[in-house]
Amino acid sequence: MAARKGLTLTDVLITVVIALVFSIIYSIWGGVYTALQPFGLHLNELVYGMWFIAAVVAYLIIRKPGVAIIAEFAAASGETIVLLQFDVMLMLYGLIQGLACEIVFAIVRYKSTALMVAVLAGVAAALSTLPLDWYYGYLGHLETWNLVLMVGFRVLSGALIAGWLAHLLYRGLKETGVLKLVGSREANHSGEL
């Protein structure tokens, strides 16, 4: 097949399917998140990073411009479909988080699959929605220690779940050999780990 530069329909379809697998996980994860909320100690922020994982995994697999943002947006809208709850905030957040990941991937020119890149993208996504949360949730009016705890937990979670765990999943997928089918069909996925 001729090497086409942009996203082909197959690329988009694979991205969206990956995103929808994660949107099912997101929906289940929402229960975990809510269960951790009543303490109010932001323990829920420790699991927040799961919500950016689709962007990172989809990028690691396909590595083309636009994939991260499509994946994250599709996962967010998929979540509204799975939960039957249309939540404009969720889709907006998905878009912003996807964009944050996309910027990190653009900086490495969509080439690197290093663990560090994934971690950086996770952290970027974790930080990306803080300004919105600041206004929506009046974070400026929290006790300072509580705010620090929240931001710290969120960044840690972005790095661990969206970064490290996403990379772990990517390496596992690579071992299955399924990645030979996808993305720019260069020597990308054939090499050893």
Chain positions contacting another protein, by CB under 8 A: 7-21, 24-25, 34, 37-38, 40-42, 57, 61, 70, 74, 78, 80-82, 84-89, 92, 135-138, 141-143, 146, 150, 168-169, 172-173, 176, 178-179, 181-182
Closer residue to another protein, CB minimum distance, 109 or 141? 141
Query: Which CB sits closer to another protein, 107 or 153?
Result: 153
Q: How far is the CB of 17 from another protein (least distance, A)?
A: 4
Structure tokens at 109: 């020119």
* Strand, helix or coil for residue 153: helix
Place of tokens 């690579």: 174
Alpha-carbon distance of 32 to 49, in angstroms, equals 12
Burial of 1 (0-12, 13-18, 19+ CB in 10 A): exposed
> Least distance from C-beta 143 to another protein, angstroms?
5
| Closer residue to another protein (CB): 37 or 190 | 37
- Are 106 and 120 in contact by the 8 Å Cβ rule? The answer is no
Residues near 105 by beta carbon (within 8 Å), at least 6 away in sequence? 59, 63, 65, 68, 117, 121
The DSSP call for residue 165 is: I
Nearer to another protein, 123 or 166 (CB): 166
Q: Pick between residue 6 and residue 191 the one whose CB is nearest to another protein.
A: 6
Minimum gap (Å) between residue 98 Cβ and another protein: 14
DSSP for 77-95 reads HHHHHHHT---HHHHHHHH
Smallest separation (angstroms) from another protein to the CB of 2: 12
Q: Give the nearest distance from C-beta 147 to another protein in angstroms.
A: 9
